[in-house]
Structure 1
């Protein structure tokens, strides 16, 4: 699947945003999620369940914020270029490209948020500058190509692909994070078109008054 026209890109972006909003609703409403999952065909239900489990785990790591939200956002690199970078990193470091895509997705929504984070992490793969100095091979922490190769280098040095779980835990010390990355990567591997759906998921921030959408069609935080 390649996005070859502006109209097709717009259609996929709107479909993905609709999918994301439904997903976020189900992540925050377990009883509703059970009811919906019971009514879905078996294969669709399993896929939805994996996304809900991943989203619920990641949400458990987040504390809703109060007050105004001011986060600088950016236009991400095109999905086809990102795919090329993941595949280059896979060839060089033997890290499955779907894992790298999932890390890019969770860490920064494919580069829409580049930090600095609360911990000081930067770039589309959210490296601490000290870690980048060790594994970035002299590249630019903010550049998608360099950051993806740096992430693959770090994961390989941390034991991947043989010890992928341990390598991902070294990247972000959270079992929920590790599980989410593997679930999203599994969904991309199962159906590569899911990469494009995830690519168009937008930046939402959990606040004490509900979700705030910062990017994409209908964004409130512009």
Structure 2
């Protein structure tokens, strides 16, 4: 995605060690088949999926979320038991896993043919912001990642595109240049187009892992006809970020999360 600037610039050396992997033959568990291309295995559908999620808010709608008890996971709490079990296997906090599960269900209710698995969202979240924890940020029980994760200014510096401010600093606090924001690193213009209110608190917030993960799911599924084939999955990920190295890193992490969660 054009908005994924945080790691593409200075932060990449701090967050990840890029691992190049072969993508010629990746098998789905239980399928007995391999497929040409980077087919990402599924981590399994979280049990007892909730009813269809809330309708996305209008583009650009924002607001302050209602104050919730510190132990309240909101809509993602429907996956709390599952997330607690999986977090014992996968090195991702339970609260964040629940958000990825909510994102999978959110898009499945609206675009069931996409076949997006939570493991892909988890892999994107890992590369983009260390699951909302980049720079010492913490994901609170309500899903908010704080302090806010904001990328460097898109000011035309070497290796960086130039994008003048489009949101009057509403999302990124910068009134001169745009910056990628939130745990899934969206540009303000992209967020205004795609941002959804997945947790039903009345606002689509890029710094909320629930909304950000679901928005990433919607964006990915709009980029391909299905993510259950190698070419389809690859097309979606390279739309999110037009880098083969990025896509291979997401692929590696996706399959590792899936295999670990199914053990």
Q: 1:178 to 1:133 in 2, by over 3 A?
A: same
Q: Distance in 2 between matches of 1:190 and 1:150?
A: 25
Secondary structure of 1:117 counterpart: coil
Query: Runs of 5+ in structure 2 lacking a partner?
Result: 1-13, 22-72, 74-91, 108-114, 135-148, 155-178, 197-202
Q: 1:115 to 1:155 in 2, by over 3 A?
A: same
Partner of 2:121: 100
Q: Distance in 2 between matches of 1:52 and 1:174?
A: 14
Partner of 2:151: 116
Query: Runs of 5+ in structure 1 lacking a partner?
Result: 1-20, 28-50, 55-76, 195-222
Find 1:161's aligned residue among 211, 216, 227: 227
Q: Does 1:145 align with 2:210?
A: yes
Within 5 Å, which residues of 2 pair with 1:174-185?
A: 174-185=243-254
Q: Distance in 2 between matches of 1:117 and 1:153?
A: 25
Secondary structure of 1:151 counterpart: helix
Asked if structure 2 preserves the Cα contact closer than 8 Å seen for 1:89 and 1:95, the reply is no
Partner of 1:128: 187
Asked if structure 2 preserves the Cα contact closer than 8 Å seen for 1:98 and 1:186, the reply is yes
The Cα of 1:52 is off from its aligned counterpart by 3.7
Q: Distance in 2 between matches of 1:188 and 1:118?
A: 32
Q: Distance in 1 between matches of 2:93 and 2:133?
A: 12
Q: Distance in 2 between matches of 1:112 and 1:96?
A: 22
Asked if structure 2 preserves the Cα contact closer than 8 Å seen for 1:140 and 1:147, the reply is yes
Partner of 1:80: 94
Q: 1:96 to 1:141 in 2, by over 3 A?
A: same
Runs of 4+ more than 2 Å apart: 51-54, 116-119
The Cα of 1:192 is off from its aligned counterpart by 2.1
Q: Aligned-residue CA RMSD in angstroms?
A: 2.7
Q: 1:146 to 1:167 in 2, by over 3 A?
A: same
Partner of 1:59: none
Q: Distance in 2 between matches of 1:95 and 1:135?
A: 17
Higher relative contact order (CA 8 A, sep 6+): 2
The Cα of 1:95 is off from its aligned counterpart by 1.5
Q: Distance in 2 between matches of 1:97 and 1:118?
A: 30
Q: Distance in 2 between matches of 1:79 and 1:193?
A: 17
Secondary structure of 2:20 counterpart: helix
The Cα of 1:104 is off from its aligned counterpart by 0.4
Q: Distance in 1 between matches of 2:20 and 2:237?
A: 18
Task: Name the one with the larger helix percent.
Answer: 1
Q: Distance in 1 between matches of 2:116 and 2:204?
A: 19
For these two proteins, the number of residue pairs brought into alignment is 125
The Cα of 1:89 is off from its aligned counterpart by 1.4
Asked if structure 2 preserves the Cα contact closer than 8 Å seen for 1:102 and 1:185, the reply is yes
The Cα of 1:115 is off from its aligned counterpart by 1.4
Q: Distance in 1 between matches of 2:204 and 2:260?
A: 32
Q: Does 1:90 align with 2:111?
A: no
